[in-house]
Amino acid sequence: MSMILVACSLFGIGLLGVLVRRDIIALLASVEVMLGGALVLLVGLGASVKHVGSPVSVEGIALIVIVVAAAEAAVGLALLVAVARRRGATRVEDLSEVKG
């Protein structure tokens, strides 16, 4: 139970960060926190629920997700660097051309 609480807190903190932080790097970091929360939940629940004959291990899934997330973060940071070079800005409010 406490594990679910930890997972939800992590997710909530990350979400809050995503919504509130205006710096894009911090924003990406918050996304990673959210992802961490989700993984905690996945691993935690995987350990507590009995799987009968499941060929998949949750730890394996979690590892794959971490790898993908790392790759994704790399792409995100690369984009960020490109934007920063082009527009000299790393803040969200500077990137709001697409609006009604």
Partner 1 sequence: MAALLMAPWLAVVVPLVLAIAIGLVGRYAKPIVPLVAMIGPLLVVALGIGALAAIPIGASAAAEPWTSQLASSGSTVWFGVGALTISVGWAIDTLAALMLLVVGVVALMVIIFSIGYMSEDPGKVRYFALLSAFTGAMTLLVIGDSFTTLFVGWELVGACSYLLIGFWYQKPSAMAAAVKAFLTTRVGDVGLLFGLAVLWASTGSLGYVAVMHGLGSMAPGAITAAAVLLAIGAIGKSAQFPLHIWLPDAMEGPTPVSALIHAATMVAAGVFLIARTWPLFEAAPAARTVLLIAGLISALGAALAAIPQRDIKKVLAYSTISQLGFMFAALGVGAWGFAFFHLITHAAFKALLFLTSGSVIHGSGTQDMREMGGLRKAMPVTFVVWVVGVLSLVGLWPLAGFFSKDAILDAVWIAVPIAGVLLFATAFVTGVYSGRATRLTFFGSWRGSGHAHESPLTMLVPLVLLAIPAALLGFSGNWIMTRLGEHPEPLSLSISGVAVGLGLVGLLVGWSLERGENADEILQVRLGRAWTAGSAGFGWDTVVTRVVVVPVTVAARVLWAVVDRYVIDGTVEGTATVARWAGGVVSRLQNGDAQWYGALIVAGVALMLAASIWLGR
Contacting residues toward partner 1, per CB under 8 A: 15, 18-20, 22, 27, 92-93, 95-100
Nearer to partner 1 by Cβ, of 78 and 92: the residue is 92
Nearer to partner 1 by Cβ, of 1 and 98: the residue is 98
Please, are residues 10 and 37 in contact by the beta-carbon 8 Å criterion? yes
CB of 23 to partner 1, least distance (A): 11
Nearer to partner 1 by Cβ, of 27 and 39: the residue is 27
**The token pair that represents 58 in the structure block:** 């949750």
CA 52-56-59 angle, 5° bins: 110
CB of 21 to partner 1, least distance (A): 8
CB of 98 to partner 1, least distance (A): 5
CB atoms within 10 A of CB 51: 10
Q: Whole-angstrom Cα distance, residue 40 to residue 31?
A: 14
